[in-house]
C-alpha cells in the first residue's frame, strides 16, 4: 500500500506566499489612507470639543458679568471664588479663552494630543494639529484651523 503524502509541497507554499505578497501590496495603500482618515477624524473631533469648551467658557463669562474687552480677565470655572490657573480657571479676552497658557491649559486635557502654544498636536507631530486663534474683537468668535499635511 502506498502512503498518502500530507501537507503542502514546496512549490505550493511558494505560490501561497507570492499570492499573499501581491494581496498585501495592493491593500497597503488603502490601509495607509485609512490611517490618515482616522487621524483627520480625530482632529475634527478635537475641533468640535474645543468649540464646545470655548462656548461653555463664553457662557460662564456672561453669567459672571465679565466685560467683553481686550483686557484679559479670569473666569472662575468652579465657582469657588478663587480665580487662578492652578485652581482650574481660564483667562478670557472678548469672553473667549486666550490663546496662551492662561486660556488653554485648563480648557481641554486630551489623551493623545499635546498642547504646544495655541496648537493641539496629535501624538506631538508637527502639521497634524488644530490651531486655536482667540477672538479678535467684541462679537467675534475664535477660529479653529485644522492642519493635516503630516497626518
Average per-residue pLDDT for the chain: 90
Element (H, E) at 120: strand 119-122
Helices (H), the chain: 10-63, 101-104
pLDDT for position 9: 84
pLDDT for position 36: 87
Residue 7 above 80 pLDDT?
no
pLDDT for position 150: 92
Grid cell of 82 as nine digits:
478663587
pLDDT for position 45: 96
CA distance 149 to 5: 56
CA distance 100 to 90: 10
Helix (H, G, I), strand (E, B) or coil at 100: coil
- pTM, full prediction: 0.77
pLDDT, tens digit, 9 for 90 and up, residues 76-135? 998 888 888 888 899 999 999 999 888 888 888 889 999 999 999 998 889 999 999 999
Residues contacting residue 91 through CB under 8 Å, at least 6 positions apart: 72, 73, 74, 75, 85, 97, 98, 100, 102, 103
Amino acid at each position: 500500500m502506498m502512503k498518502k503524502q500530507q501537507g503542502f509541497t514546496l512549490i505550493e507554499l511558494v505560490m501561497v506566499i507570492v499570492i499573499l505578497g501581491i494581496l498585501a501590496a495592493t491593500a497597503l495603500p488603502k490601509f495607509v489612507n485609512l490611517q490618515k482618515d482616522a487621524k483627520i477624524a480625530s482632529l475634527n473631533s478635537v475641533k468640535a470639543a474645543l468649540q464646545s469648551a470655548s462656548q461653555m467658557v463664553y457662557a460662564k463669562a456672561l453669567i459672571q458679568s465679565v466685560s467683553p474687552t481686550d483686557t484679559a480677565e479670569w473666569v472662575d470655572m468652579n465657582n469657588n471664588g478663587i480665580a487662578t490657573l492652578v485652581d482650574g480657571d481660564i483667562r478670557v479676552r472678548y469672553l473667549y479663552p486666550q490663546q496662551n497658557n492662561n486660556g488653554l491649559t485648563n480648557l481641554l486635557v486630551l489623551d493623545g494630543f499635546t498642547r504646544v502654544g495655541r496648537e493641539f498636536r496629535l501624538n506631538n507631530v508637527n502639521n497634524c494639529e488644530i490651531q486655536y486663534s482667540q477672538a479678535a474683537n467684541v462679537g467675534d468668535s475664535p477660529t479653529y484651523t485644522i492642519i493635516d499635511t503630516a497626518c
